[in-house]
Amino acid sequence: MSGIKRLVLDVLKPHRPTSIDLSVAVSKLSHVTGVNLSLYEVDQETENVKITIEGDDIIFDEVKNVIEQFGAAIHSVDEVATGRKLVEEVETLQDRT
């Protein structure tokens, strides 16, 4: 398959349900083989998290629906990887500052 293999999402979520609950729910979706959720910012009512999802032919709308069911919102899609294999980014001279 050559669909979505990796999604990196910037998500704003309430404290409850927990990040663990959200991560487990996303990981149960078909075609998802792994989920990494990292906490970046916390305020009184919300948390800003980065969710990295890997799999084969990930269906974005299914991921979005689960996130919204948890009362969260996708702020941005920070990375998308598609094709037959994952291509890792390489550092170029322009990246060095």
Burial per residue of 13-41, b for 16 or more beta-carbon CB atoms within 10 angstroms, e otherwise:
beeeeebeebbebbbebebbeebebeeee
Domains of the chain: 4-83 (3.30.70.1340)
Cα–Cα distance, 1 to 87 (Å, whole number) = 15
Can you read off the two tokens belonging to residue 83? Answer: 């094709």
pLDDT of residue 2: 66
Closest CA to 47 of 78, 8, 77, 75: 75
Per-residue pLDDT for the chain (97 aa), expressed as one digit of tens each? 569 999 999 999 999 999 999 999 999 999 999 999 999 999 999 999 999 999 999 999 999 999 999 999 999 999 999 998 889 888 898 888 7
